[in-house]
Amino acid sequence: MKEPIIQVKDLTKSYGDFEAVRGISFDVYKGEIFGLLGPNGAGKSTTLEIIETLRQKSGGTVIVDGMNLDTDPEAIKKIIGVQLQTAGFYPNLNLTELIHLFVGLYQMQMDPMELLAKVDLVDKAKSKFKELSGGQKQRFSIATTLINRPKIIFLDEPTTGLDPQARRNLWDLILEIRNNGTTVIITTHYMDEAEVLCDRVAIIDSGKIIGINSPNQLIDELVESGFEKVKEVKKANLEDVFIHMTGKQLREA
């Protein structure tokens, strides 16, 4: 039996007259990587931010690790890690200084070097945030979600704008975090990424969940319904060519 760590039921969110989230229900299981997929404006970030206690919902119930969002938001905050937009970091502080700042906010004990080691940034400990590459910035912001040793982390489009090497590097990091026991909720516009990373995905469109299952089962269902690709699928794609020619090594001088 899969054990739910997040239970969302009939969740709604209106901004004025506009209903951005229209009664969605889903569970996230302990220890899985759960993907929220959907076009821009579908309601993914709104849904995440409600569960993260950062936004008020209009209706429905949210239970996180047995705690009700309506009555226990402070307790929920303590067991989750939320990735900030990278614009939220002081650009002129170095990584060690930024970690000290966060550790102070959370009132936690954490050795900056130990945290940087987890995301392979030890040699950047004295670099300013603004001096990092895009991939390094994302790795650092994922590291900061781990400071309070959370049970669940939330990653909203963590790989947008990264080159293929940095994207793959981040996949490895996210898988490692999950393999160490943390539940991960992620949004992405890259379907190849969702296929590689996610144990299950929910597809949201206009504030409604229109499909939820493992990527494999969703694909099988589509094929069983009679869907056929127009072109014969090649054994590689252009991204495979790119990675084959340029190598997997990270480029972040």
Query: 46 is in the binding site of which of Mg ion, ligand ADP, none (Cβ under 5 to 8 A by kind)?
Result: ligand ADP
Q: Minimal distance in Å, beta carbon 55 to ligand ADP?
A: 8
Q: Minimal distance in Å, beta carbon 40 to Mg ion?
A: 7
The single-letter code of the amino acid at 235 is K
For the record, the structure tokens of 188 come out as 């992405």
Query: 38 is in the binding site of which of Mg ion, ligand ADP, none (Cβ under 5 to 8 A by kind)?
Result: ligand ADP
Contacts (CB under 6 A) with ligand ADP, residues 1-20: 15, 20
| 159 forms part of the interface with Mg ion (CB under 5 A) | no
Cα angle: 131, vertex 160, 185; to 5 degrees? 110
Find the helix or strand (DSSP H, E) in which 11 lies.
strand 4-15
Query: 225 is in the binding site of which of Mg ion, ligand ADP, none (Cβ under 5 to 8 A by kind)?
Result: none
Task: Compare residues 119 and 202 and give the one whose CB is closer to ligand ADP.
Answer: 202
Name beta bridge partners: 128: 94
Contacts (CB under 6 A) with ligand ADP, residues 29-58: 38, 40-46
Query: 57 is in the binding site of which of ligand ADP, Mg ion, none (Cβ under 5 to 8 A by kind)?
Result: none
Q: Residues touching ligand ADP: how many (CB under 6 A)? A: 10
Q: Enumerate the H helices of the chain as residue ranges.
A: 44-51, 73-78, 95-106, 112-118, 134-145, 164-179, 191-197, 215-224, 238-246
**In the set 5, 6, 42, 45, which binds Mg ion (CB under 5 A)?**
45
For the record, the structure tokens of 122 come out as 């030890």
Task: Compare residues 44 and 57 and give the one whose CB is closer to Mg ion.
Answer: 44
Q: Minimal distance in Å, beta carbon 202 to ligand ADP?
A: 12
Q: What is the dihedral of CA 154, 175, 161, 244, to 10 degrees?
A: -170
Task: Compare residues 173 and 186 and give the one whose CB is closer to Mg ion.
Answer: 186
Q: Minimal distance in Å, beta carbon 158 to ligand ADP?
A: 13
Query: 90 is in the binding site of which of Mg ion, ligand ADP, none (Cβ under 5 to 8 A by kind)?
Result: none
Other CB atoms within a 10 A radius of the CB of residue 170 amount to: 21
Task: Compare residues 37 and 166 and give the one whose CB is closer to Mg ion.
Answer: 37
Cα–Cα distance for residue pair 246/241, rounded to 1 Å: 8
Q: Minimal distance in Å, beta carbon 193 to ligand ADP?
A: 16
Q: Which residues bind ligand ADP (CB under 6 A)?
A: 15, 20, 38, 40-46
